[in-house]
Amino acid sequence: MNRQVEALNILVVEDSKVTVKVLGNYLAAMNVSDPLIAENGTQALKIYERERPDVVLLDIKLPDINGFEVARQIRQMEGEHEWAAIIFLTAMNSDEDLAHGIAAGGDDYLVKPVSEVVFHAKVRAMQRLIGMQRRLVEVTRQLDSANAELQRLSTTDALTGIANRRSLDYFMEREWRRCLRMKKPLSLVMMDIDYFKLFNDKYGHQAGDDCLKKVADQIARAAPRGTDLAARYGGEEFTLVLGETDQDGAMWIAERVRQMVAELKVPHYATSSKFVTISCGVVSVLPDEHTSLEILLQSADASLYQAKRGGRDRVVAGQYGKF
C-alpha cells in the first residue's frame, strides 16, 4: 500500500498532456490530488509566485523558456526561509545535463519515460527534505525569538520596564560620540525619589515597587525621541539622557517630569506635600576634546545632591565640571 504524502503542494510544469496525465495518476496513487499545472515557463513562474508550491516537477524543454531558466527564476523569488524542491523531467541524462540542472537550482532528475516506482521514491525523498526544512525554519524562528527576548531582558530593568544601567551606559557612550560628531549639546537629568527609604519602611516593599514603576512610567513619557533615553540608574534613582538638547530644554523637561510625578498623588507621609515627589539635577555640555562623559555624570550627580540638600521636590541646574 502506498503511504500518503501529506501537506505537499505540487506544481507540474509540462506541455505534454500525456505526461501530465501519467504524473497525475502517480500522485493520485500517493493520495495527492489536484496538482497545480503549468503548460509553459511563464505560467509556471506566475503560479509559483502566487501559490509557493513545495515541489516543482519541471520539464526542461518548454514552449517558451527552458526549465533551467525557470528554476533560476524560482530560486530568485524564494524568500529567506523558503525552499521548493525542484525535480527536472527530461530525456537527457548525461553528466553535463545533471551539472547544468544543479547549477540552475535543481535538486533531482526524473528521466522520461518516468518510472512510477522511481517517481514515488523521489517525491517521498523530497517530502522528507521539506519536512526537515520546515522544522529547521521553525527552530530558527524560535531561536530568533528567544535571542530577541534575551536581548530585551539584558537591556531592560526587570521591575520598571525601562532601560537598565547596562543599556544606559551603552546609550550614553553612543550619544556622546554622536553629539561630538554633530557638534550638538548633550544633557543629563539625574532624578531621585524623595525619602524613598522612609516610604518603603512605612508602606512596605510591594508599595515601594509599585511606586518605582509609576515614577518610571512618567519619566519614560518624557523621552519619546530616538535621541532620548529613560533609565533606572539604581535603587530609586533614575536618569534621562537627552541628545541634541541644551540646558534650557533639559530644565523644561525635568520640571515637567517633576510635575507629572507629583500629579500621581501617591501618598507619602514624609514629604511636605504628603505625596511622592522627586528631586532633579540637570547638566548640559557641548562635547569636545576637552570634555568627558564621566565628568558630565559627576556634574549631574552633584546637581541632584544640591536639589536634595536645598529641600527636595525641585529641579536644580548644575554646571559641567562643578562638583
111 and 44, same domain (yes or no): yes
Cβ atoms within 10 Å, residue 282: 30
Q: Domain with 222 in it: what CATH number?
A: 3.30.70.270
104 and 43, same domain (yes or no): yes
Span between the terminal Cα atoms of the chain, in Å: 87
What is the C-alpha to C-alpha distance for residues 18 and 39, in angstroms, rounded to an integer? 12
Query: Which 3 state secondary structure label does DSSP give 193?
Result: strand
Residue 105 near residue 71, CB atoms below 8 Å = yes
Q: Domain with 93 in it: what CATH number?
A: 3.40.50.2300
Q: Which domain holds residue 71?
A: 10-147
Residue 160 lies in a domain: no
Residue 134 lies in a domain: yes
Residue 3 lies in a domain: no
32 and 143, same domain (yes or no): yes
112 and 208, same domain (yes or no): no
Q: What is the pLDDT of residues 253-278, one digit of tens each?
A: 999 999 999 999 999 999 999 999 99
100 and 20, same domain (yes or no): yes
Q: What is the pLDDT of residue 6?
A: 52
- Give the predicted TM-score (pTM) of the model: 0.61
Residue with cell 533551467: 68
127 and 193, same domain (yes or no): no
What is the C-alpha to C-alpha distance for residues 44 and 36, in angstroms, rounded to an integer? 9
Residue 155 lies in a domain: no
pLDDT greater at residue 280 or residue 100: 280
pLDDT level of residue 128 (50, 70, 90 thresholds): confident
pLDDT level of residue 10 (50, 70, 90 thresholds): very high
Q: What is the pLDDT of residue 72?
A: 94
100 and 242, same domain (yes or no): no
Residue 178 lies in a domain: yes
Catalytic residue among 138, 175, 236, 255: 236
What is the C-alpha to C-alpha distance for residues 172 and 169, in angstroms, rounded to an integer? 5
72 and 135, same domain (yes or no): yes
Residue 280 lies in a domain: yes
142 and 169, same domain (yes or no): no
Cell of 96: 553535463
46 and 189, same domain (yes or no): no
120 and 196, same domain (yes or no): no
Residue 238 lies in a domain: yes
Provide the domain count of the chain: 2
Q: Is 78 a catalytic residue?
A: no
